[in-house]
Amino acid sequence: MKRISLEELLKSHVRDSYEQQYHFVRKLLEQEKIKPVKASGTNGKRPALYRSYWVMEEKKDYSALEEELKYRIHPMISVDYYLSHLENYEKDREFVLLLDNYLRSNQDMLSYRESVNERSFEIWNREKFLAKEQGKRILKCCGLEIGELNVYGTAEPLSYYSHTRETPQKLLILENKDTFYSMRRSLLEGRDRIFGEEIGTLIYGAGKRILKSFEDFDFCVEPYMAEDGNRIYYFGDLDYEGIGIYEKLAKAFCTRWEIVPFVQAYEKMLEKAGQAEDLPETKEKQNRNISGDFFSYFAGGQVKKMKEILEKERYIPQEILNISDF
């Protein structure tokens, strides 16, 4: 609404008599085109008029859109929300009709499972519409769950190096790139063991990214890596974040895999670390919410030393170890 003075309102009727001006204003009030600002007071004349008015926005006619929603939209799409918010339907109509057209012409394609981006392009000709644009909101307004489009999410492919394809084997997930490359180099140079363990495959976790990329582990790796008899270890920085990544990973996939800390590597870190005061300070804004499951794999003395390091706001980077330690 826009506020306007009585003088502005009567600008085109300045030559009319006051009676004519009064009837002009009354007509606008009856048509609900204006509304008086009562706090502005009256002009002191008889009959009185207020000194200011709100200019009301004209109500749009949405009857055609209402009819379209009621009678022309595919039955899979719920129209309840848009019937109650016709102004929003007017804005979203292009995207709703593209979905409607897809369901009418290509509904059989929903029997094929596709990636989120593939289905998004198939429906809206925009591959990121579902994942990063308005797609999820449009689906919600249409009363649809994303699962009804028969899609799957994709993560960045895992980077890994397999020293052997024999099974069962031990796989080692590494938080950081330097340690991944150093251990890979050690295996390539003919050493079959890392800290006494025969490791078949090294996996680069890329910090927190492993939590997403591991969702597709069984789907995206070679079959020998996903054999039921394999064992999976994890090794990362000895800080709140590194421990947190391990605990979240182990918990998220516990029904399929038992992922355990690579104890020997952490023990070597502690051995090389020396006094806590000599270690780097913990990085700011780390999430300190860890469950403690990580510590259950270590002896009491080792747990005490690790907690002492953390409590003193210090940490041991994975890079404390190098190829000469393996």
Co-location of 181 and 315 in the same domain: yes
In a domain, 180, yes or no: yes
> Is the whole model's pTM more than 0.95, yes or no?
no
Classify residue 11 as exposed, middle or buried by CB count within 10 Å of its CB (0-12, 13-18, 19+).
Answer: exposed
- Axis-axis angle for helices 86-105, 116-124 (nearest 10): 100
Out of 136, 152, 168, pick the residue that ends a domain: 152
Co-location of 6 and 26 in the same domain: yes
Co-location of 183 and 167 in the same domain: yes
Co-location of 164 and 299 in the same domain: yes
Co-location of 126 and 30 in the same domain: no
- How close are the terminal C-alpha atoms of the chain, in Å? 73
Task: Determine the Cα–Cα distance for residues 76 and 214; give it in Å rounded to an integer.
Answer: 34
In a domain, 326, yes or no: no
Co-location of 293 and 215 in the same domain: yes
Residue 270 has pLDDT above 70, yes or no: yes
Q: Compute the mean pLDDT over every residue in the chain, rounded to the nearest whole number.
A: 93
State the pLDDT at residue 121. 97
Out of 122, 152, 182, pick the residue that ends a domain: 152
Co-location of 189 and 288 in the same domain: yes
Residue 195 has pLDDT above 60, yes or no: yes
Co-location of 267 and 172 in the same domain: yes
Over residues 54-70, the mean pLDDT reads 90
Co-location of 246 and 293 in the same domain: yes
**Each residue's pLDDT tens digit, 148-168:** 999 988 877 889 999 999 999
**Each residue's pLDDT tens digit, 106-124:** 999 999 999 999 999 999 9
State the pLDDT at residue 147. 94
Dihedral angle computed from the Cα positions of residues 318, 310, 296 and 264, in that order, rounded to the nearest 10 degrees: 30
Residue 284 has pLDDT above 80, yes or no: no
Residue 276 has pLDDT above 60, yes or no: no
DSSP calls for 58-121: PPP--HHHHHHHHHSS-TTS--HHHHH-HHHHHHHHHHHHHHHHHHHHSGGGGGS-EEHHHHHH
Co-location of 110 and 35 in the same domain: no
State the pLDDT at residue 155. 74
Out of 152, 183, 212, pick the residue that ends a domain: 152
In a domain, 325, yes or no: no
What residues make up the domain containing 107? 63-152
Q: Give me the number of domains the chain comprises.
A: 3
In a domain, 46, yes or no: yes
Express as a percent the part of the chain with pLDDT over 70.
Answer: 99
Six token digits for residue 112: 């094929």
Co-location of 198 and 308 in the same domain: yes
Among 168-177, 206-215, 233-242, 281-290, name the one with the lowest average pLDDT: 281-290
Co-location of 199 and 110 in the same domain: no
